[in-house]
Amino acid sequence: MINSFDTDIALINPFNKKIVLRDFYSSTISKGIYNWPNIDLLSLAANLQKKFNVKIIDANTEKLSSHKVIKLLNSKKLKGLIFSVGKSVLEDDYKFINEIKNGLNQKVKTFVVGGVVYYDAKKELENNSFLDGCIINFTTDDILSYFLNKRTGLKNLVYRENNKIIECENELPRNGFTLPIAPHDQLNLKKYRLSHGKSNYLTSVITSYGCPHKCSFCVSGKINYRYRDPDNIIQELDYLKKIGVKEIMFKDNIFGFHKRNYKELLTKMINKNYNFSWVSDSRVDVLDEELLNLMHKSGCHALHFGIETKSEKTLENYQKNLKDTNCVKKTLNLCKKYRILTVGYFILGLPGETKEDVIETIKYSVELNLDFASFNLPIPIIGTELRLKSIQNNWVLNNSSNYDGSNTPIINTGKLLPDELKKLRSDAYKKFYLRLKYIFKIIFKIKNFFQLKMIILEFTNLITKRH
């Protein structure tokens, strides 16, 4: 329940019937019941609250219809609205924004942030007259300058002014960055949870931005890697401790990449004795034993790795250049040693793969002895080489206006047919999760009632939903 609030700028995660995770230039529909606070909106709110009263409204998590959000907003004098949007539900998101704008009793500048606007901002504004602008980089304070009516020196924004679309320079500096503390306490943190989480008093924090790698199916490699100052992160963690946060999702693409910084951050976290439990995404060829030991001591209990496929040829074709393919098993074994759960992400049927490649990948996911696995289908994400190739070859299916790799095939190369791929994905889930050995392993890892509840909910979801 969201009560009345004072605000100049509202940052809104749109309502959807499904749980939608839209942040850090990607969006996906939750395959289970997991959900975390939107890092784009948190980071933008952090900068905006230097000069404005801000309010984050997670209409998706709170299940607030446009009608309810309009009611909340109409009693305020608003300066701006910022919506997080995602390609996997873009039509729904734009419908929601339109309803809000039509229902408001005042004219309000409306911006959007998200992967879809990262490459096509001008087109989004041309096609959607209800939008006033797009935010390209959620870690800078350009949007603060915009709402302070500055119009010179603006960067990382595309906006409408006097019927013209102004495209500011995209500045993606490579140096480190800091962020003011985000207003996490505006969110009902009890409502967020991870399938493998230890507690539901969960929030999101970033320690870096972008990715130094260039996998050609992923948009993050297009964003210059920047790391956040460790002392600045510690200030935010001190505040999170004070407000009672128990679990943290470090919303990084590649936790641990800048070794010196991460060793400093983790050592400080250990010395502070926060007692947080935390999870993040990383790469198998980035983490070494010293780092994993520090991660474990500072509360890390699960790591997510993009393993993608068993096929070395596919890894090479898509520039997922691992330093050494043996590092997959080596890093997963080290995680076991430090009692860190491992989650493997796989993409089944990237163009060029055969049915046999996909079957090998499914077998591999079982052999790796991962704790959890997520099987996805290729998505031609805007801004990626995979998208360019898919368009050039006419592989993108006509009915795919909303992109989500967690259910329906979006690419048809004519070799692995969509129905076949869908069935392979369904088989992958059954082969991975419905094994007695696996079920016993997970039961023995349950440490508290919350984990038991989450496992039961996720398994029920897995069995009752047709993947």
| Choice between 66 and 314, CB closer to ligand SF4 | 314
Amino acid occupying residue 3? N
Q: Which of residues 31-70 bind ligand SF4 (CB under 6 A)?
A: none
Q: Which amino acid, residue 7?
A: T
22, 184, 196, 213: which one contacts ligand SF4 (CB under 6 A)?
213
Stretch that binds ligand SF4, among 45-53, 94-102, 209-217, 309-317 (CB under 6 A): 209-217
Task: Enter the tokens of residue 176.
Answer: 């480190």
Q: Which residue, 87 or 283, is less far from ligand SF4 as judged by CB?
A: 283
Q: Choose one: 131-139, 172-180, 207-215, 412-420; the region binding ligand SF4 (CB under 6 A).
A: 207-215
Provide the minimum distance between the beta carbon of 348 and ligand SF4 in the complex, in angstroms, as a whole number: 15
Piece of the chain touching ligand SF4 by CB under 6 A; list 126-134, 212-220, 229-237, 373-381: 212-220
- Residue placing its CB nearer to ligand SF4 in the complex, 158 or 215: 215
Query: Quick one: which of 139, 220, 361, 374 contacts ligand SF4 (CB under 6 A)?
Result: 220
Q: Minimum CB separation from ligand SF4 for residue 443, in Å?
A: 31
Closer residue to ligand SF4 in complex, CB, 100/223: 223
Q: Which two tokens stand for residue 104?
A: 């408001």
Which residue of 211, 279, 303, 348 would you call a contact of ligand SF4, by CB under 6 A?
Answer: 211
By CB under 6 A, is residue 218 in contact with ligand SF4? yes
Nearest to 271 by CA among 243, 226, 230: 230
Q: Which of residues 225-254 bind ligand SF4 (CB under 6 A)?
A: 253-254
Q: Is 283 in the site for ligand SF4 (CB under 6 A)?
A: yes
Residues 7/76, Cβ–Cβ less than 8 Å? yes
Stretch binding ligand SF4 (CB under 6 A), from 57-65, 216-224, 288-296, 380-388 = 216-224
The amino acid occupying position 117 is V
What type of residue sits at position 245?
V
Stretch that binds ligand SF4, among 152-160, 201-209, 213-221, 330-338 (CB under 6 A): 213-221
If we measure between CA atoms, which residue out of 160, 177, 285 comes closest to residue 224? 177
Regarding 350 and contact with ligand SF4 (CB under 6 A), the answer is no
**Which own/partner contact pairs does 95-98 have at CB distance under 8 Å and 24+ positions apart?**
96/14, 96/15, 96/16, 96/59, 96/66, 97/14, 97/130, 97/131, 98/130
Structure tokens given for 22: 């839209």
Which residues between 299 and 328 bind ligand SF4 (CB under 6 A)? Answer: 306
Least distance in angstroms from the C-beta of 303 to ligand SF4: 13
221 binds ligand SF4 (CB under 6 A): yes
**Please, which residue, 213 or 226, has the CB nearer to ligand SF4?**
213
Nearest distance from residue 56's CB to ligand SF4, in Å?
Answer: 25
Q: Which range touches ligand SF4 (CB under 6 A), out of 105-113, 164-172, 218-226, 398-406?
A: 218-226
Dihedral angle of Cα 436, 441, 442, 445, to the nearest 10 degrees: 160
* Of 117 and 219, CB closest to ligand SF4: 219
Instruction: State how beta strands 300-308 and 277-282 pair.
Output: parallel
Q: Cα separation of 438 and 451, whole Å?
A: 16
Closest to 68 (Cα-Cα) out of 26, 44, 96: 96
Binding ligand SF4 (rule: CB under 6 A), the pick from 135, 215, 233, 410 is 215
**456 φ, ψ (degrees, to nearest 5):** -60, -45
Closest contact distance (angstroms) between CB of 211 and ligand SF4 is 3
Q: Which is nearer to ligand SF4, 133 or 221 (CB)?
A: 221
Residue with smaller CB distance to ligand SF4, 158 or 218: 218
**Three-state DSSP class for residue 331:** helix
Distance CA 196, CA 454 (A): 7
Residue given tokens 């983790």 in the structure block: 266
Element (H, E) at 347: strand 341-347
Query: Please, which residue, 84 or 253, has the CB nearer to ligand SF4?
Result: 253
CA atoms within 13 A on the CB side of 265: 27
Options 9-17, 132-140, 185-193, 208-216: segment touching ligand SF4 (CB under 6 A): 208-216
- The residue count for binding ligand SF4 (CB under 6 A) is 10
Distance CA 273, CA 291 (A): 17
Whole-number Å distance between alpha carbons of 195 and 308 = 20
| Distance of alpha carbon 121 from alpha carbon 113, whole angstroms | 10
Binding part of the chain for ligand SF4, among 136-144, 211-219, 237-245, 352-360 by CB under 6 A, reads 211-219
Distance CA 333, CA 337 (A): 6
CA gap 264, 55 in Å, rounded: 33
3-state secondary structure of 48: helix
Q: Is 233 helix (H, G, I), strand (E, B) or coil?
A: helix
Binding mask 132-171 for ligand SF4 (x = CB under 6 A): ----------------------------------------
Binding site for ligand SF4 (CB under 6 A): 211, 213, 215, 218, 220-221, 253-254, 283, 306
